[in-house]
Amino acid sequence: MNTLCGLTFIIILINCIDFSRNASLTNTDLKKYKHLIEGQGLYSQEDDVKVLTALNFKSEIYNKPYASVVEFYNSWCGFCQRFAPSWKALATEIKNWKDMIVVAAIDCSDDDNSQLCRDFEIIGYPTLRYFHENYKEGPNNIGVEVEKGEDVQTHKKKLLERIMEELGEHRGAQYPYILPVTTNDMNDFHRNSPKGTMYTFVVIEDSHSTD
Protein backbone atom coordinates (compact mmCIF):
# COMPACT_ATOMS: atom_id res chain seq x y z
CA MET A 1 0.00 0.00 0.00
CA ASN A 2 2.82 2.36 0.87
CA THR A 3 4.53 1.56 -2.42
CA LEU A 4 1.39 2.38 -4.39
CA CYS A 5 1.02 5.73 -2.64
CA GLY A 6 4.64 6.56 -3.35
CA LEU A 7 4.23 5.87 -7.07
CA THR A 8 1.10 7.98 -7.22
CA PHE A 9 2.93 10.89 -5.58
CA ILE A 10 5.81 10.68 -8.08
CA ILE A 11 3.45 10.69 -11.08
CA ILE A 12 1.62 13.75 -9.76
CA LEU A 13 4.93 15.54 -9.12
CA ILE A 14 6.19 14.86 -12.65
CA ASN A 15 2.96 16.12 -14.16
CA CYS A 16 3.23 19.29 -12.09
CA ILE A 17 6.79 19.93 -13.26
CA ASP A 18 5.87 19.49 -16.95
CA PHE A 19 2.89 21.77 -16.54
CA SER A 20 4.95 24.47 -14.87
CA ARG A 21 7.47 24.45 -17.73
CA ASN A 22 4.73 24.93 -20.31
CA ALA A 23 3.19 27.68 -18.20
CA SER A 24 6.49 29.59 -18.29
CA LEU A 25 5.99 30.30 -22.02
CA THR A 26 4.23 33.61 -22.58
CA ASN A 27 1.76 34.22 -25.41
CA THR A 28 4.52 36.12 -27.22
CA ASP A 29 6.86 33.13 -26.92
CA LEU A 30 4.20 30.79 -28.26
CA LYS A 31 3.55 33.06 -31.26
CA LYS A 32 7.27 33.42 -31.90
CA TYR A 33 7.79 29.69 -32.26
CA LYS A 34 4.46 28.77 -33.79
CA HIS A 35 5.66 29.28 -37.38
CA LEU A 36 8.70 27.09 -36.73
CA ILE A 37 6.46 24.21 -35.66
CA GLU A 38 3.49 24.50 -37.99
CA GLY A 39 4.56 26.82 -40.79
CA GLN A 40 2.23 29.63 -41.67
CA GLY A 41 -0.38 30.25 -44.33
CA LEU A 42 0.52 28.71 -47.69
CA TYR A 43 4.09 27.74 -46.77
CA SER A 44 5.66 25.34 -44.26
CA GLN A 45 9.02 23.95 -43.13
CA GLU A 46 8.94 21.45 -45.98
CA ASP A 47 9.25 24.28 -48.51
CA ASP A 48 12.43 26.17 -49.41
CA VAL A 49 10.56 29.46 -48.84
CA LYS A 50 11.62 31.32 -45.69
CA VAL A 51 8.48 31.99 -43.62
CA LEU A 52 8.42 35.55 -42.27
CA THR A 53 6.25 37.00 -39.51
CA ALA A 54 6.01 40.34 -37.75
CA LEU A 55 8.24 38.86 -35.06
CA ASN A 56 11.15 37.77 -37.25
CA PHE A 57 10.87 40.16 -40.22
CA LYS A 58 13.45 42.68 -38.99
CA SER A 59 16.02 40.08 -37.97
CA GLU A 60 15.67 38.21 -41.30
CA ILE A 61 15.63 41.21 -43.67
CA TYR A 62 17.71 44.06 -42.26
CA ASN A 63 21.53 44.23 -42.17
CA LYS A 64 22.03 40.89 -43.92
CA PRO A 65 24.96 40.16 -46.31
CA TYR A 66 22.45 38.72 -48.80
CA ALA A 67 19.32 40.09 -50.47
CA SER A 68 15.75 38.87 -50.00
CA VAL A 69 12.80 38.73 -52.37
CA VAL A 70 9.59 38.62 -50.34
CA GLU A 71 6.06 37.70 -51.32
CA PHE A 72 3.44 39.60 -49.33
CA TYR A 73 0.28 37.54 -49.72
CA ASN A 74 -3.14 36.77 -48.28
CA SER A 75 -3.76 33.08 -47.68
CA TRP A 76 -7.48 33.54 -48.46
CA CYS A 77 -6.67 35.01 -51.89
CA GLY A 78 -7.38 32.57 -54.72
CA PHE A 79 -4.67 34.07 -56.93
CA CYS A 80 -2.16 33.70 -54.07
CA GLN A 81 -3.12 30.06 -53.69
CA ARG A 82 -2.49 29.47 -57.40
CA PHE A 83 0.73 31.49 -57.22
CA ALA A 84 2.24 29.57 -54.28
CA PRO A 85 3.40 26.43 -56.17
CA SER A 86 5.51 28.44 -58.61
CA TRP A 87 6.96 30.53 -55.75
CA LYS A 88 7.93 27.32 -53.95
CA ALA A 89 9.47 26.06 -57.19
CA LEU A 90 11.53 29.25 -57.55
CA ALA A 91 12.80 28.89 -53.98
CA THR A 92 13.87 25.31 -54.71
CA GLU A 93 15.38 26.28 -58.07
CA ILE A 94 17.68 28.91 -56.55
CA LYS A 95 18.20 27.52 -53.04
CA ASN A 96 21.92 27.17 -53.80
CA TRP A 97 21.99 30.98 -54.15
CA LYS A 98 21.18 31.35 -50.42
CA ASP A 99 24.44 33.19 -49.76
CA MET A 100 23.35 35.80 -52.32
CA ILE A 101 19.54 35.92 -52.12
CA VAL A 102 16.72 34.28 -50.16
CA VAL A 103 13.13 33.65 -51.29
CA ALA A 104 10.64 34.46 -48.53
CA ALA A 105 6.93 35.05 -47.87
CA ILE A 106 4.69 36.67 -45.24
CA ASP A 107 0.96 36.07 -44.75
CA CYS A 108 -0.82 39.41 -44.44
CA SER A 109 -4.10 37.71 -43.52
CA ASP A 110 -2.62 36.78 -40.14
CA ASP A 111 -3.69 39.39 -37.57
CA ASP A 112 -0.17 39.49 -36.12
CA ASN A 113 1.26 40.48 -39.53
CA SER A 114 -1.43 42.85 -40.78
CA GLN A 115 0.11 46.04 -39.35
CA LEU A 116 3.51 45.26 -40.87
CA CYS A 117 1.86 44.75 -44.28
CA ARG A 118 0.12 48.11 -43.94
CA ASP A 119 3.43 49.74 -42.98
CA PHE A 120 4.92 48.37 -46.21
CA GLU A 121 1.98 49.80 -48.19
CA ILE A 122 0.75 46.46 -49.47
CA ILE A 123 -2.55 47.05 -51.29
CA GLY A 124 -2.74 44.02 -53.59
CA TYR A 125 -1.90 40.33 -53.35
CA PRO A 126 0.51 38.87 -54.01
CA THR A 127 3.05 41.71 -54.01
CA LEU A 128 6.76 40.95 -54.50
CA ARG A 129 9.38 43.20 -52.92
CA TYR A 130 13.15 43.05 -53.27
CA PHE A 131 15.33 44.04 -50.31
CA HIS A 132 18.99 44.44 -51.19
CA GLU A 133 21.88 43.30 -49.02
CA ASN A 134 22.56 45.35 -45.84
CA TYR A 135 19.08 46.84 -46.11
CA LYS A 136 18.33 49.42 -43.43
CA GLU A 137 15.12 50.00 -41.53
CA GLY A 138 13.48 53.37 -42.21
CA PRO A 139 10.05 54.96 -42.72
CA ASN A 140 10.44 55.08 -46.51
CA ASN A 141 12.37 51.83 -46.90
CA ILE A 142 9.73 49.42 -48.14
CA GLY A 143 11.76 47.51 -50.73
CA VAL A 144 11.54 47.61 -54.52
CA GLU A 145 8.56 46.00 -56.21
CA VAL A 146 9.42 43.11 -58.54
CA GLU A 147 7.15 42.15 -61.42
CA LYS A 148 5.52 38.73 -61.02
CA GLY A 149 6.12 35.95 -63.50
CA GLU A 150 3.66 33.29 -64.59
CA ASP A 151 5.82 30.27 -63.71
CA VAL A 152 9.17 29.43 -62.16
CA GLN A 153 11.16 30.37 -65.27
CA THR A 154 9.52 33.77 -65.70
CA HIS A 155 9.87 34.41 -61.94
CA LYS A 156 13.57 33.70 -62.35
CA LYS A 157 13.85 35.96 -65.38
CA LYS A 158 12.16 38.87 -63.56
CA LEU A 159 14.43 38.34 -60.57
CA LEU A 160 17.56 38.34 -62.75
CA GLU A 161 16.38 41.59 -64.32
CA ARG A 162 16.15 43.09 -60.82
CA ILE A 163 19.63 41.79 -59.97
CA MET A 164 21.05 43.39 -63.11
CA GLU A 165 19.46 46.69 -62.10
CA GLU A 166 21.08 46.33 -58.67
CA LEU A 167 24.48 45.79 -60.29
CA GLY A 168 23.89 48.83 -62.47
CA GLU A 169 23.24 50.85 -59.30
CA HIS A 170 26.54 49.60 -57.79
CA ARG A 171 24.92 47.25 -55.29
CA GLY A 172 24.79 43.47 -55.19
CA ALA A 173 28.50 42.84 -54.63
CA GLN A 174 27.59 39.27 -53.63
CA TYR A 175 26.42 38.49 -57.18
CA PRO A 176 28.53 37.50 -60.19
CA TYR A 177 29.00 40.46 -62.53
CA ILE A 178 26.42 39.74 -65.25
CA LEU A 179 25.91 43.13 -66.88
CA PRO A 180 26.14 43.27 -70.71
CA VAL A 181 29.47 44.31 -72.22
CA THR A 182 28.96 47.65 -73.95
CA THR A 183 32.43 48.15 -75.42
CA ASN A 184 34.32 46.56 -78.29
CA ASP A 185 37.60 47.17 -76.48
CA MET A 186 38.34 44.18 -74.22
CA ASN A 187 40.96 46.23 -72.37
CA ASP A 188 38.20 48.60 -71.24
CA PHE A 189 36.15 45.60 -70.19
CA HIS A 190 38.92 44.31 -67.91
CA ARG A 191 39.59 47.76 -66.47
CA ASN A 192 35.91 48.17 -65.58
CA SER A 193 35.55 44.75 -63.94
CA PRO A 194 35.04 44.70 -60.16
CA LYS A 195 38.24 44.76 -58.09
CA GLY A 196 39.48 41.28 -57.23
CA THR A 197 38.00 39.59 -60.33
CA MET A 198 40.10 36.53 -61.16
CA TYR A 199 38.14 34.95 -64.02
CA THR A 200 35.78 36.39 -66.60
CA PHE A 201 33.34 34.45 -68.79
CA VAL A 202 31.91 36.25 -71.80
CA VAL A 203 28.69 35.02 -73.44
CA ILE A 204 28.36 36.13 -77.06
CA GLU A 205 24.80 36.23 -78.38
CA ASP A 206 22.65 37.94 -80.98
CA SER A 207 21.60 41.47 -80.07
CA HIS A 208 17.92 40.44 -80.38
CA SER A 209 18.27 37.36 -78.17
CA THR A 210 15.80 36.99 -75.30
CA ASP A 211 17.51 34.00 -73.61
Residues noted as catalytic: 77, 80
The full DSSP string for 31-98 is HHHHHHHH-BTTB-TTSSSEEE-TTTHHHHHTT-SSEEEEEEE-TT-HHHHHHHHHHHHHHHHTGGGT
3-state secondary structure of 68: strand
What are the φ/ψ torsions at residue 23 (nearest 5 degrees)?
A: -65, -20
Cis peptide before 65 (omega within 30 of 0): no
* CB atoms inside a 10 Å sphere around CB 133: 18
d(CA 163, CA 67): 10
Counted residue by residue, the chain has a size of: 211
